[in-house]
Amino acid sequence: MHPPKKDETELAEPGEFGELVKFTITGWAGGLAFGFVLDALGFQRSPWGQWLVRTLSGEGESLLEGLYAIRQRMARATGSLAEAYGWGKLLGIAVPWVIDLASRLAGVDVYGVSGFYIPFFYAMSDQIGGNLSGLVFLRRQSPSWSTALGRYFTHPVMVAGLILIVLVPVGLLAARLAGWSPTTQTKTALETIVANLCWVPPLLGWLGERRRPGTDLD
């Protein structure tokens, strides 16, 4: 008698999403460290400094998640939802760079209310990519789009990501309207870190893994 076939649309291998949570913390630490150093050197409003700090604070984990996805792909032939999630986040990294540059060239006040969307894309464009990639993965594992969407909207990682994509820009806009402005690199890092709630979906995935029977993550 053959063992039951593994459902590849589940949270995949034990510990995968737990690894992604660790990547997020590493990115935060890097962004804060570079922000502090750049401020100390007098580059509080350097555009290149903001690009570096925001990339590390908002997307540093995506670089590591992309490496994780590559490692997982090389380790086995079959994919997993966590792996697809990592690939999607990696592919979304360059989007905020283009938006940031285009906004500055267009004369947008990146420190004022009108520039609230810039940290959003640094913090969440990889999340958007992760959600889209996750949906594509579920579609490939499902007989129809209706089945894939049903799994998507009942999967805690996908649903949490979708909610964050909607709520984060609202919070950023409210903060800018209240007078917040990233006038230093440290503030830039903090703003991006607060907006970078991409750790929430992986955390839910990790908790789901711990609840799976026979899973030992210790």
Write the pLDDT tens digit of every residue in 66-83: 666 666 666 654 556 666
- At 7 the pLDDT is 47
Mean pLDDT of 29-44: 95
- Backbone φ, ψ for residue 10 (5° rounding): -75, -170
The Cα 69–Cα 13 span in angstroms is 12
User: pLDDT digit string (tens) for 37-51?
Assistant: 999 999 999 999 999
Query: Tens digit of pLDDT for each residue in 98-145?
Result: 999 999 999 999 999 999 999 999 988 878 887 888 898 889 888 999
The confidence score (pLDDT) of residue 201 equals: 78
pLDDT at 129: 80
78 phi/psi in degrees, rounded to 5: -85, 150
- What pLDDT, on the 0 to 100 scale, is given for residue 130? 78
Contact call for residues 111 and 181 (beta carbons, < 8 A)? yes
Band (pLDDT 50/70/90 cuts) for residue 200 is confident
Q: Which residue has the higher pLDDT, 15 or 167?
A: 167
